Amino acid sequence: MSAVSRVFVLNGPNLGRLGSREPDVYGATSYAGLVQACQELGKELGFDVEVRETNDEGELIRWLHEAADGSIPVVLNPGAFTHYSYGMRDAAAQRTAPLIEVHISNPYTREEFRHTSVVAAVASGTIAGFGIGSYLLALRALAEERDA
């Protein structure tokens, strides 16, 4: 395994409300539980994982710029920005390291407006529908790509 490297786990709107927001869709794990799970697995995989959440589109775009400038891999759950934020999509397209789009639920089993992702075409890949496990699968994918 290579030296410890940084990974950003970036979350868009309403993800800070995990555990209380529609638990039948998003599960019972709290946002703090998500942070802990990502950081613990990241440590096992040799990553320094920084988990961030914002309800502000501009802030998320700035974080994607920071990742691009630093060649930092990203696990991105854009939340509702997935479906319409072309500014975020353009920032994600500037990536200089892998970027994996994740979703807790499977957008294709939900309302039709959720079936379109403006991010998917510029992401390295998309993982959806595995609850909090989607993030863990993404971290494992980053480790496999790093070690390949």
Task: List active site positions.
Answer: 26, 103
Is 65 annotated in a binding site? The answer is no
Strand order in the sheet with 99-103: 47-53, 5-11, 74-77, 99-103, 125-128
Do the annotations mark residue 114 as ligand-binding? yes
24 is in an annotated binding site: no
Q: Is 56 annotated as a binding residue?
A: no
Binding residues: 77, 83, 90, 104-105, 114
Binding residues for substrate: 77, 83, 90, 104-105, 114
